[in-house]
Structure 1
């Protein structure tokens, strides 16, 4: 999982991606402002953390710790509230989030030992969520992701490593189509392969 910040002066985990990203000043997106590739009209909807859950996490996170805001000195943190990367100077919080637990509470499911939590970056205050028309977030050709499948009980029903392609959707449409071909699969998580951190969920 993404290492926790060691001090207020260095709140970002080392390299939120697997390789440096080229910056273009003045444009929102990756460190320094370069936009990330995104797909127009993905076949599956990437879901940010729900507003009510975000409001709770900004108080006390899923590990029972208070959120501590900090000013992002570099930009590039993957924000699960609005599914984009942060810009330098934005006020963020690194909180512990239990995505399967939150989903199971909505559905009355019992994931049992499959429940887990980990660190995610969010804006320290309400941000309005993802921009309209946004495709799959955090795309970078060659980056490796984990696609994990869950059944209606919240139990792991399969998974795979996925190397993102240079297609506009990064190859995620086909990978998610494949995941949901199994009628038992109702939920999928995308995760960073390096640290195992949760990116977003997709529901049937």
Structure 2
């Protein structure tokens, strides 16, 4: 499995727009789930909160939602093959997408079964990616491919 944080070009654009309009807020929010490095924000870290549409979910399945990222480049994701610790302790919505961006399915997974469920979902030849989302709000956190 390969974990994907937000792409660098998306982050660079959001950082460039931070604080300039209502779609790119500059703020501090300790504990916010960061999509640049897939950890939680610390106290005093400047962040940008902006709208993001994941690449899967095209056409009528496209969704736009709020995401947090460090305002300054942070070095990104430490490991692309290990489920991020900061997101491993809560129930997660696992939403699957086909290669053409259509929703294939979705389910809620408990923390202790996340890795197993993701592996099973990715073993389906129709599934191109699994989006990991907040179970309570449905917010996009990151996606996983094979």
TM-score tier after normalising by the smaller chain length: 0.7 to 0.9
Q: Equivalents in 1 of 2:133, 2:12: separation in Å? A: 23
How far did residue 71 of structure 1 move? Answer: 2.8
Q: Which residue of 2 aligns with 1:99?
A: 54
Unpaired segments ≥5 residues, structure 2: none
How far did residue 144 of structure 1 move? Answer: 1.5
Deviation sequence 1:126-147 (CA, Å, 0-9, x none): 111022477312111xx22100
Q: Which residue of 1 aligns with 2:88?
A: 139
How far did residue 58 of structure 1 move? Answer: 2.2
Q: Which residue of 2 aligns with 1:89?
A: 44
Kindly name which structure, 1 or 2, has the bigger radius of gyration based on alpha carbons: 1
TM-score by length of 2: 0.87
How far did residue 179 of structure 1 move? Answer: 0.6
Decide whether aligned partners of structure 1 residues 134 and 149 sit closer, same or farther in structure 2, where only a CA change above 3 A counts. closer
Q: Which residue of 2 aligns with 1:112?
A: 59
Q: Equivalents in 1 of 2:81, 2:41: separation in Å? A: 15
Is the Cα–Cα contact under 8 Å of residues 76 and 86 in structure 1 kept in the other structure?
Answer: yes
Q: Which residue of 2 aligns with 1:172?
A: 114
Q: Equivalents in 2 of 1:195, 1:201: separation in Å? A: 16
Report 1:67-78 matches (<5 A).
67-72=24-29, 75-78=30-33
2:13 to 47, 56, 60: 56
Question: Please, what is the CA RMSD of the aligned residues?
Answer: 2.1
Q: Which residue of 1 aligns with 2:96?
A: 149
Q: Equivalents in 1 of 2:28, 2:119: separation in Å? A: 39
TM-score by length of 1: 0.64
How many residues in Structure 1 have an aligned counterpart in Structure 2? 142
Is the Cα–Cα contact under 8 Å of residues 76 and 85 in structure 1 kept in the other structure?
Answer: yes
Q: Equivalents in 1 of 2:79, 2:144: separation in Å? A: 17
